[in-house]
């Protein structure tokens, strides 16, 4: 079985003050992959970062909301994490 893991596609990344990215087409490419997986009825798993640090961009609801276009569709799994790794403290 194949699955697409969509990790940390959240508003907090759009609002973060970061230097120039090395992957400016990442969102566009991930959306293409998501479209393909949906069209072929394959598993998509979303990983959402809910920070416990009040100074984090992912602490507030605004920060941890999915970016526009990356919202899970009905039936797609969502795992929430509280640390940088999607595999620590989750049921993945």
Structural domains in the chain, sorted by start: 3-13+25-81 (3.40.50.850)
pTM for the complete prediction? 0.76
Q: Is the dihedral of CA 81, 83, 89, 92 positive or negative?
A: positive
20 compared with 45, residue with greater pLDDT = 45
12 compared with 23, residue with greater pLDDT = 23
β-sheet with 3-7: strand ranges across: 3-7, 43-49, 77-81
Map tokens 């609002």 to a residue. Answer: 15
Report the share of the chain in percent with pLDDT over 90: 37
């Amino acid at each position: 079985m194949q699955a697409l893991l969509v990790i940390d596609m959240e508003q907090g990344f759009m609002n973060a003050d970061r230097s120039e990215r090395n992957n400016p087409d990442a969102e566009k490419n991930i959306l293409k992959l998501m479209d393909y997986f949906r069209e072929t009825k394959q598993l998509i798993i979303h990983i959402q970062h809910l920070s416990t640090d009040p100074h984090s961009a992912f602490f507030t609801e605004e920060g941890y909301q999915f970016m526009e276009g990356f919202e899970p569709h009905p039936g797609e799994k969502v795992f929430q994490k509280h640390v940088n790794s999607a595999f620590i403290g989750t049921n993945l």
